[in-house]
Structure formats: C-alpha cells, structure tokens
Amino acid sequence: MLKALLIFALCLAPVTIRAEVQLTSHSYIHNPSGQTHVVFHLASYKRGWFFGSCGPSTRSLQWEYQIEMKGAGPNYRKDDIELKDGDYRPIPLEDGVITIEEKSHKATISLTPKQDLSGKTFHGNGTYKIQLRK
C-alpha cells in the first residue's frame, strides 16, 4: 500500500505546470560572402505532464521563432534581422533591435512586427540567457 501511495505521489508531483522560454544560439560563416550570421531559436514551453500523439511528455511547445542576424554584432538593427515563425515563414519587421551581452551571455530582443499581423506584440521581446546549441 505504501509503495502504491509513493508511486501515486511521484506521478502528481510534476503536474504543476510552469512555463519557460529558452533561447538557443549558434553561428556560422555565410558562404560566399564570408559574413558571420548568428541564429537564435526562441521557444516557449509549458512544463508538466502532457499526453499527445507521440505519447506522454513533460513539456509542451507553445510558440517558437527563428531569428537570424547578419554581422559580427553585438548590436543588430532591423535591416540585419530576419524573423521567421515556427513554420519558417518570414515575418516582416517594422522595427527592431537585438543586443547581445557577451560577458553575461544574455540577449535583449525588442522587435515590432508589421501591423498586418493583427497588431499583436512580439511574444519574444525580453532579455534571455543564451544557451549554446549542442
């Protein structure tokens, strides 16, 4: 009985759902221009127990974006930034700035999509710790 109660308690422990936003990064040298490109994958996940078509999982993707920046940085302006949604469809920008703080491994994102996107603010605006993609 104690064993069954312990298993039941362990199953309920992660039911508390919490959200987290992850920013992963990698860079490459664009061929043939030789220009450095930095790529961010920005995604928001819910944590907890989820049951989907592939079976049980402990996280659920809420939204994601790919952000590609041209140049050495650490500051990028609208013309240096390419934003795409989770399906890799381009999202036109009205304005935007991304600043990378190399010492603290953080990035500050402030993007404004064009108004034809229902006037929604960009979900990914904020300051995030950069995780290097493995």
Question: Residue 123: is its pLDDT beyond 80?
Answer: yes
59 belongs to a structural domain: yes
Quick one: which H or E segment has residue 11?
helix 2-12
Residue in this structure with the two tokens 């064993």, named with its chain if needed: 3
10 belongs to a structural domain: no
Question: Where are any strands of DSSP class E within the chain?
Answer: 18-29, 36-52, 55-70, 75-77, 81-85, 90-91, 93-101, 106-113, 126-132
Question: Residue 117: is its pLDDT beyond 60?
Answer: no
88 belongs to a structural domain: yes
The model's pLDDT over 12-32, given as tens digits with 9 standing for 90+, comes to: 555 555 667 888 888 888 888
Give residue 108's pLDDT: 96
Question: Taking Cα atoms as reference points, which of 57, 46, 53 lies closest to residue 20?
Answer: 46
Give the span between the Cα atoms of 10 and 28, in whole angstroms: 43
Q: Average per-residue pLDDT in the chain?
A: 82
Structurally, the chain folds into a number of domains equal to 1
Range of the domain at 27: 16-132
3 belongs to a structural domain: no
Give residue 3's pLDDT: 66
38 or 58, greater pLDDT: 38
Would you place residue 53 in the very low, low, confident or very high pLDDT band (cuts 50, 70, 90)? Answer: confident
The model's pLDDT over 59-92, given as tens digits with 9 standing for 90+, comes to: 778 889 999 999 988 999 999 999 999 999 999 9
Give residue 79's pLDDT: 94
Would you place residue 4 in the very low, low, confident or very high pLDDT band (cuts 50, 70, 90)? Answer: low
